[in-house]
Every structure is written in structure tokens, then in C-alpha cells.
Chain A
Amino acid sequence: MSTPLAAPLLEIEDLTVRFRTDNGWMTAVDHVSLQVGEGEALGIVGESGSGKSVTALSILRLHAAATTRLPTGRIIYGGRDLLTLPARQMRAIRGGEIAMIFQDPMSSLNPVLTISDQIGESLRLHQGVDKATARKRAIELLELVRIPDAARRVDEYPHRLSGGMRQRVMIAIAIACRPKVLIADEPTTALDVTIQAQILDLLRDLQQELGMSVILITHDMGVIAEFARRVMVMYAGRVVETAPVSALFRAPMHPYTDGLLSAIPKLDVDVGRLPAIPGSIPDPTAVIPGCRYSPRCPMVQESCVREAPALLPAGPEREARCPPRVAQWAAARESAA
């Protein structure tokens, strides 16, 4: 990767994950590499089925064993490869060092346990604190995620809380053991817009207060713009572009990113219909020669179909998987110099 990060905290090298389906093996994640620095906010963006969630789940090794071929590649955290770590040590990492929050706060809490029990669970697992201490810590955590009246809420059951509050509780559970990395898999998708903004604010503040690295997975470019410092765009299991967030929005380097950006409604331009990317994401079992985006790409060239493009460096902290565009950029830079 082009990013010269000072000692990445978490590093994924060449991760490939394959699932068994009725039509044979499909590649959900295809040679993906990424790095997350300490305290960094990385956004991963892509359509449904682009492999972004699978990448995230792989970090914590949370696949159904029966349908997954052992992922290849390496996931280095703290000098250890998470893909080969014994189950016991993996459990110590989960929740203790790397935590995760999910998309749907309505089903992410156990209906028969109180909030206190559920926040306390990871504290008791990782820090061995007793029930009374766990409850006290749970109240502090609820205050940290700005749930009013925490001392009372802590003994309630999940069904008494609204969606936004449940997502706050999920965040409280995730940060209970002060993890170094927080993976947020579409944390705001199931919430309404005003709550979305609150949750994002909360996540950002917590990230700065606790010095966590956050990997935010989303399909919403707006969320990325607001939250991430660096963005990775995925399409059909591959990384198509990596860039600092401002650079990506200013000058995308991949036609797919163009498409994503132009699909954002703009307040100052009146359009009857939002532009959409023609076609749909390919069947993951389909074999597409060359660039996987070529069937939908408006600027497809003959060379795109002939050979699979590589990720090419395209500026500071930037890479793109589109040789024609990178060549254009390189030529423009040369003529400017």
C-alpha cells in the first residue's frame, strides 16, 4: 500500500474469503489488503455484496465454518496472525481488543437479559469483575454513550429502549473493555436520519476520547464524508480505490467511485431523477474477464476486458484499480510539472 503509516495497528494482507453456494464456490473477498493506523478512522464503502462486511467479519473470524473455505492471506494484529490464532486467544481478542457493532440494534440485544447483564458480560469475560462492579461500570458506560437516566436504564430489558438507544447500548457494550479497534458495520443504516447524525457524533467523540481506531463500513457516502479520514471503495470483492476522504470527493480515480458520488443528491442542483449506475452488481459466482466493473463502466476500453487491472499508486495515500484513469492522472501531473 502507498500509505506510509507509522506502524499500522491492524493490517490485512491479501485476504481472500470464499463461500460455498449451490452453484459452487464464490469469492466474496478477493485479495484485499488494508491497513489501519492507531486512532485512525477508515471507511469502507461499497454496494451490498461488495465484500465489505465479510472483510470485517474475517477480522474477528466470525464465519459459519461449514460454508467458508479457510480464508487465505494474513490479518496481523499485535504481531499475531488472527487467522491462525487458537480459539481461546481469539476469544480474548474479541471484545477485549477488537470490538464490533452491528447494523440492526433491534436484534443485537438479548431480549431476556437486562442492559446491565449485557454490558457486564464482556467486562466479566475479559476483566473478571464481579456483578456489582460490572453494574457500576455499565452505568458509567451508559453515561459515556449519553443515555439519560443511566442508573435507571441499566436494569431495563432491551424492549423498553428505542432503536437509537439500543444502538447506544451496543456501542457501550463494544467499548466496555476499551478496545483498540472498533468495527462498525453499517451502524446507522437501521436508524432514522436525526438519530444517525447523533450516533455518528457519538462515535467520533468516543474515538477521540478513547483513542480507538474505527473501521466504519457503510454504503452511504454521506456517512463516509462525515466520519472517515481515509476511504476504501470496494466493488465485487475487490478494492477499487483507496484515498484520503477529501481527495476522493474532490477527484475520484475510479469510474465506480464517480458513479457512487454522482448518485448523492445535491441540494443546489435540481434534478428530476438521480443518476444511477446502469446494470447491477455481478453474480459473485460469475467469471468476468479483466476488470470486474467493465460491464457497467461508461469509459470501458478494450484493454479493460483483456486483463485484470492492478491497484496502481495514484498520489499520496492513494491507489486506484483503473489503469486508464491513473495514466490520465500521471500524464496531467507530468504536463503540469
Chain B
Amino acid sequence: MAEALILPTGEAIAARRRFLVLRKLAHHNSFRIGFVIVLLMVVAAILAPVITGLDPTAMRIRFRFRPPSAEFPFGTDQFGRDLLTRVLYGAQLSLWIGLAVAVLSAVVGAAVGVLSAQYRRLDSLLMRIMDALMAAPAILLAIGLGAALGPQTHSVIIALAVAYIPRTARIVRASALVTRELEFIEAARVSGASSVRIMFRHLLPNATGPLLVQSTFVFAYAILAEAALSFLGIGPPPPEPSWGNIIAEGRDFAVQSWWIMLFPGIAISLAALGMNLLGDGLRDVLDPRLKVES
């Protein structure tokens, strides 16, 4: 019987289990590619001052509309600002918005989802509110909210978070509804656990897999949506660069100076691609239906 086997210590087993997940992730191709892309972007964003040494908002009229060259790898815009510098600094803002939206919608969405799974009376109320939010396409909702809140970074974050909360809430709710019917929830109740304890200690941890995966997708959507909002003038205000508002400012010169829009566009595509690949990999490894315990 299994009892007779000599086993390593418990801490070692727990560590080994975590290690196994990491190893599976490390062998997952799309996760690997996504991870490298995202890692490079984060490093580039953090090291932006070191990489270029230029001020992203400093105007130099003499160097307006320079095409990509050895001196300006991404060219310059209508104010003579170096686009490589702006794209790098823009990464800081865009990634920050993506992260903030992902975290905010995960926290609120998880709370809403687990509450409606636990309290059946709250369920219909909360879910109808979520349905109402989902009735409008996320981007339209965010445009409306962003316009109402004014063109600021934090209003973009709030608008996008509100737009993505319903999907996250539904995913957490679905997972918690399945979990709460399992016997260990009843066993926890038999041990004297309160509803709150059951929600946060039993239901939520069992939903972390789908929640994490969803959050990476929200991260990617948020970067895209931030670009769309900025393009429409509802994003973070100029002159502070974000990928979206660099494109927005470049649109008037799209025909003559294509590089202004091209490079931040590539950055957005890469970021969205990277996060999506990362999320796919996480889903493959974390999804309990696909998981083979060993």
C-alpha cells in the first residue's frame, strides 16, 4: 500500500508540486514565447531612461518628421520627439494601465463572482447588473465611462476595469458554483466554518486557475482598449506618451510619416500577442480538466 512508501518531506513535496507546474510551463511553447515577449517589454519599459537617455517630451523642432535612421531608430514625430524614447516610455504607461485593469477587475470580479455563488439571493441582483454591463460592447462602455470621467490615466483604468469585471465575475461564479456543491464545502461547514470563511478559503482558491488565465487576457484587452481610447482622445492626456496617444497624434501624418503610427502599433500587437500566448499557456497547465496529477 502507498502508506509503506518512503517519501520525501512534506515541504519538499509542496515545493516539488510547484516546481512541476513551473516545469510544465517552461516546456509549453506558447507560454515560453509569451513569457519572453512580456518579459522583454517589462524590462524595456523599466530600463527606458537607460536605453535612450532622451526626454520623451522634449521637443526639438529641427528634427521634425525624421524617418527611421541610425540616430533615430524609430524616427521622430511632428515635434521632433524621438519615437523610440516615446514608445519605451509609453510602454510604462500602457503596461501599467494593463496591469491595473487586470488586477482591479480580478479583485472586484472575484468578489462579485464568489458572493453571487455563495448567496443565492444576491446572485440574481449581481448577475443582472453584470448582464446589464455586458449588454453594451466592452469598448463602447469604456468609451462612455472614460468620456464621463475625463481624459486621465485613472479614469481609463476605472472605465476599462468596469468593462471587464462582468466577464471575470462570471468565470469566478461558474467555478465557485461547481466547487460549492462538493462535499468538502459541507465538511468545512461541519467544522464550523462561516460563510465568509468558506468563500475566501475554499471557493476562491479553487477558482484561482481560471481567474489567473482570465486576468492575462484582460491585461491584453486593456492594452488594446487603452490604445483605442487614446486614439479617440479619452486616454491619458498628452504630452505624456502612451502607445495609444502616440498613434493618435500620428494619425494626421499617417501618409507622409508612417513610422509614427507603425512602431507603437507593433508594440501594442506584440504586447497583446505576448499576454495572450502567456494566458493560453497558463490555461493549458492550470485548467483542472486538462491537468494530469502525477
Residues in chain A within 8 A of chain B (CB atoms): 60, 62, 66, 91-96, 99-100, 102-104, 107-114, 116, 121-122, 125-126, 147-149, 151-157, 159-162, 165, 170, 173-174
| Cα distance A114–B17 in the bound complex, in angstroms | 12
B120 touching A114 by the CB < 8 A rule?
no
- Given A108-B186, A148-B4, 10 more A-B residue pairs with CB atoms under 8 Å apart are A102-B183, A110-B202, A113-B202, A125-B191, A125-B192, A153-B10, A155-B13, A161-B2, A162-B2, A170-B187
A99 touching B190 by the CB < 8 A rule?
yes
- Determine which of B1, B186, B197, B202 lies in contact with A62 in the assembled complex, contact meaning CB atoms within 8 Å: B186
Contacts of A102 in B (CB 8 A): 183, 186-187
- Determine which of A109, A126, A147, A155 lies in contact with B9 in the assembled complex, contact meaning CB atoms within 8 Å: A155
A159 touching B293 by the CB < 8 A rule?
yes
B187 touching A91 by the CB < 8 A rule?
no
State whether the Cβ of B23 lies closer than 8 Å to any Cβ in chain A: no
Interface string of B118-162 (1 = CB under 8 A from A): 001000000000000000000000000000000000000000000
B10 touching A110 by the CB < 8 A rule?
no
- Determine which of A111, A152, A165 lies in contact with B8 in the assembled complex, contact meaning CB atoms within 8 Å: A152
Interface residues of B in 46-67 (CB under 8 A from A): none
List 5 interface pairs A-B (beta carbons < 8 Å), by A numbering: A66-B120, A93-B192, A110-B202, A111-B206, A157-B13
Residues in chain B within 8 A of chain A (CB atoms): 1-4, 6-11, 13-14, 17, 120, 182-184, 186-194, 197, 201-202, 205-206, 208, 293
B188 touching A62 by the CB < 8 A rule?
no
Contacts of A154 in B (CB 8 A): 10
B184 touching A109 by the CB < 8 A rule?
yes
B13's closest neighbor in chain A, by CB? Answer: A156
Contacts of B7 in A (CB 8 A): 149, 152-153
Could you tell me the distance in whole angstroms from the C-beta of B178 to the nearest C-beta in chain A?
A: 12
| Cα distance A173–B11 in the bound complex, in angstroms | 21
Residue from B2, B182, B191, B202 with most neighbouring chain A CB atoms (10 Å): B191
A123's closest neighbor in chain B, by CB? Answer: B191
B3 touching A152 by the CB < 8 A rule?
no
Could you tell me the distance in whole angstroms from the C-beta of A164 to the nearest C-beta in chain B?
A: 8
| Cα distance A153–B2 in the bound complex, in angstroms | 12
Judged by DSSP, the binding face of B is helix
| Cα distance A162–B116 in the bound complex, in angstroms | 34
Closest 3 CB pairs of A and B: A155-B10, A95-B191, A95-B192
A173's closest neighbor in chain B, by CB? Answer: B191
Given contacts A107-B184, A108-B187, contact A122 B8 (CB under 8 A): no
B14 touching A114 by the CB < 8 A rule?
yes
| Cα distance A170–B4 in the bound complex, in angstroms | 20
B206 touching A107 by the CB < 8 A rule?
no
A156 touching B10 by the CB < 8 A rule?
yes
Given contacts A112-B205, A112-B206, contact A94 B191 (CB under 8 A): yes
A110 touching B2 by the CB < 8 A rule?
no
- Determine which of B14, B120, B190, B197 lies in contact with A155 in the assembled complex, contact meaning CB atoms within 8 Å: B14
Residue from B183, B192, B293 with most neighbouring chain A CB atoms (10 Å): B192
A126 touching B14 by the CB < 8 A rule?
no
| Cα distance A62–B182 in the bound complex, in angstroms | 14
A94 touching B190 by the CB < 8 A rule?
yes
| Cα distance A4–B2 in the bound complex, in angstroms | 47
Could you tell me the distance in whole angstroms from the C-beta of B17 to the nearest C-beta in chain A?
A: 7
Contacts of A108 in B (CB 8 A): 183-184, 186-187
B191 touching A121 by the CB < 8 A rule?
yes
B187 touching A173 by the CB < 8 A rule?
yes
Given contacts A152-B7, A154-B10, A165-B2, contact A107 B190 (CB under 8 A): no
Could you tell me the distance in whole angstroms from the C-beta of B265 to the nearest C-beta in chain A?
A: 41
| Cα distance A7–B27 in the bound complex, in angstroms | 65
| Cα distance A149–B13 in the bound complex, in angstroms | 14
A104's closest neighbor in chain B, by CB? Answer: B183
Contacts of B3 in A (CB 8 A): 147-149, 162, 165
Could you tell me the distance in whole angstroms from the C-beta of A216 to the nearest C-beta in chain B?
A: 16
